[in-house]
């Protein structure tokens, strides 16, 4: 799942910086958590594609790009995004 998220965000936003971290182990027992992990992620992304966009717009664009992953079992996505 982490690799798919990385690929999707790379293709959609051509980031200068991209880090996708599986934080599922931090959410053990919480809603959406699965023992095999890959349910809770943190994305740190810096891209020229976000220049001039509001924080809400950037988050909407990232969530839209990852819509299928979110439907398929990613329960939580923490986003740290900024323009390059």
Task: Find the Cα–Cα–Cα–Cα dihedral 3, 73, 32, 54, rounded to 10°.
Answer: 70
* pLDDT, tens digit (0-9, with 9 covering 90-100), for 63-75: 999 999 999 988 8
Q: For 7-62, how does the pLDDT look when each residue is reduced to its tens digit (9 = 90+)?
A: 999 999 999 999 999 988 665 666 555 556 678 899 999 999 999 999 999 999 99
* pTM: predicted TM-score of the whole model, two decimal places: 0.87
């Amino acid at each position: 799942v982490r690799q798919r998220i990385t690929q999707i965000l790379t293709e959609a936003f051509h980031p200068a910086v991209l880090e996708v971290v599986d934080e599922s182990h931090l959410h053990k027992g919480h809603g959406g958590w699965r023992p095999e992990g890959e349910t809770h992620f943190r994305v740190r992304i810096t891209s020229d594609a976000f220049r001039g966009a509001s924080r809400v717009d950037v988050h909407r664009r990232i969530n839209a790009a990852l819509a299928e992953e979110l439907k398929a079992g990613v329960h939580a996505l923490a986003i740290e995004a900024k323009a390059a």
